[in-house]
Amino acid sequence: MAKKKTVVNIGIMSLEKFRARTIAIAKGEYVPKPNEPKIWFESIQSLAQVLGEDNQELLRVIVEKAPTSMKELAELTGRKSSNVCRTLKTMERAGVVELKKENKVVRPIAKVTNFRLEFGIGASV
């Protein structure tokens, strides 16, 4: 049975607005709607650092080849292990991948593979 593809909404919001939004949520002054972004970036540049073409390729390889370690992923992609490790940690912080420690090795798991982008000048808290 094929795994259902889940689309995760991602958004772009300034750090200042994101902090205000987070505080409003914590105070109970704002309740996020179910269709609002789950992953936020401060700028298109920060989005591109996490989800640029090279990193999309990493995600594709993780999904298609299911490597059992970051070292194996590096070998499959031809990238240096240090580069793959650093990139995956950034992607983990963004909520895109999970790095699961198993028997002294870290296995990358794609948490999100399909994205919908939302941003605009009038984005509110």
Question: Residue 28 has what pLDDT?
Answer: 96
What's this model's pTM, rounded to 2 decimal places? 0.80
For the segment 94-106, the average pLDDT, to the nearest whole number, is 92
pLDDT of residue 118: 81
Q: What is the full DSSP assignment across 63-119? A: HHH--SSHHHHHHHHT--HHHHHHHHHHHHHTTSEEEEEETTEEEEEES--EEEEE-
Can you give the pLDDT at residue 100? 95
Report strand pairing: 39-41 vs 105-110: unpaired
Q: Where are the domains of the chain?
A: 7-118
Per-residue pLDDT tens for 24-53? 999 999 999 988 898 999 988 999 989 999
> What pLDDT digit, counting tens, does each position of 2-14 carry?
455 678 899 999 8
Per-residue pLDDT at 119 = 75
pLDDT exceeds 60 at position 122: no
**Tell me, what's the pLDDT at 25?**
95
In this predicted structure, the answer to whether residue 20 has a pLDDT above a threshold of 90 is yes
Tens of pLDDT along 62-94?
999 999 999 999 999 999 999 999 999 999 999
Q: What is the CATH number of domain 7-118?
A: 1.10.10.10
Q: Which of 97, 108, 95 is nearest to 69 (CA)?
A: 108
- What letter does residue 11 receive in the DSSP assignment? E
